[in-house]
Amino acid sequence: MNRMSVEERRVQLIDAAMTIAVREGVEGITIRGVAAEAGVSLGVVHYCFEDKDDLLRAMGNSLALVASDPVRDALSAGTDVKTIMHAAADGLWEGLTPRRHMRLLTFEFATAGARSRALRSVAEAHLTQTIDMTQGILDEIARVAGVTYSIESRFLARLVAGYIDGIEIAWLVSQDDDVAVASFHALADYVHSLVVEPE
């Protein structure tokens, strides 16, 4: 069998840790458990990661925060701002449903980051990345539709990102698809209410 590079081994161990996290939650991750899941010795894990916090940071950094491609596809829905925003709402739902476990892990990492100094940087990086991505999409919608917003773009992005997280957490708990879809569309209507059309 070919020897793995350290980087390849780290990816293998992160994947094993993700498998455990999906099955048992972030709190269920141990160095011993990751070694067993990956079929390697404890020494291999310790060689690749300084400690559990180092492994958790690597996991957090590898998580895809949001499935943004379906939302970005909404930008091809035309130039009518309301149509684009509701297409984006459909894109949010389309991106959420097949990635339930990854979104749940993202929220677990955010919670862990609020409690753990070791993971705070990961949680903060996720928050910044989410707001950046949301702002980028909102700005692009405004550009395509030729409009502006009545409140500052960065603040609006923070609001929208917070609403999206809330809708997703509620769906993860309730599994009520209809309410989640309706909530994304209500959010689209709210953002649309802040649009300023050109004179």
Q: What is the pLDDT of residues 40-74, one digit of tens each?
A: 999 999 999 999 888 888 887 776 444 567 788 87
- Backbone phi and psi for residue 49, each to the nearest 5 degrees, phi listed first: -135, 135
Q: One-letter amino acid identity for 104?
A: L
**Does the pLDDT of residue 196 top 60, yes or no?**
yes
| Residue 39: Cβ within 10 Å count | 9
**Could you give the CA distance from residue 49 to residue 66 in angstroms, rounded to a whole number?**
26
What pLDDT score does 115 carry?
Answer: 85
| Domain made up of 69-196: CATH architecture | Orthogonal Bundle (1.10)
What pLDDT score does 65 carry?
Answer: 46
What pLDDT score does 1 carry?
Answer: 43
Express the helix, strand and coil content of the chain in percent, nearest 5 each: 80, 0, 20
User: Closest by alpha carbon to 178, among 189, 167, 188?
Assistant: 167
Q: Where are the domains of the chain?
A: 6-62, 69-196
What average pLDDT does range 90-117 have in this prediction?
A: 84
**Does the pLDDT of residue 16 top 90, yes or no?**
yes
The more confidently predicted of residues 142 and 77 is 142
What pLDDT score does 2 carry?
Answer: 56
Q: Which residues of 62-84 are buried (b: 16+ CB within 10 A; e: fewer)?
A: ebebbbbebbeebbebeeebeeb
Q: Which residues pair with 196 in a beta bridge?
A: 148
Mean pLDDT of the chain: 88
The more confidently predicted of residues 109 and 190 is 190
What average pLDDT does range 5-20 have in this prediction?
A: 92
Structure tokens at 156: 């609006």
Element (H, E) at 149: strand 148-149
The more confidently predicted of residues 11 and 103 is 11
Q: One-letter amino acid identity for 161?
A: A
- Backbone phi and psi for residue 172, each to the nearest 5 degrees, phi listed first: -60, -35
**Does the pLDDT of residue 87 top 60, yes or no?**
yes
| Residue 54: Cβ within 10 Å count | 13
The CA-atom distances, in angstroms, between 125 and each of 63, 119, 171 are 11, 10, 24
**Does the pLDDT of residue 10 top 90, yes or no?**
yes
Q: One-letter amino acid identity for 184?
A: F
What pLDDT score does 172 carry?
Answer: 93
DSSP state of 194: T
Say which CATH superfamily domain 6-62 falls into.
Answer: Homeodomain-like (1.10.10.60)
Alpha carbon 117 to its chain's center: 20
What average pLDDT does range 116-127 have in this prediction?
A: 81
Work out the burial of residue 23: count CB atoms within 10 Å of its CB; fewer than 13 is exposed, 13-18 middle, 19 or more buried: exposed
The more confidently predicted of residues 171 and 126 is 171
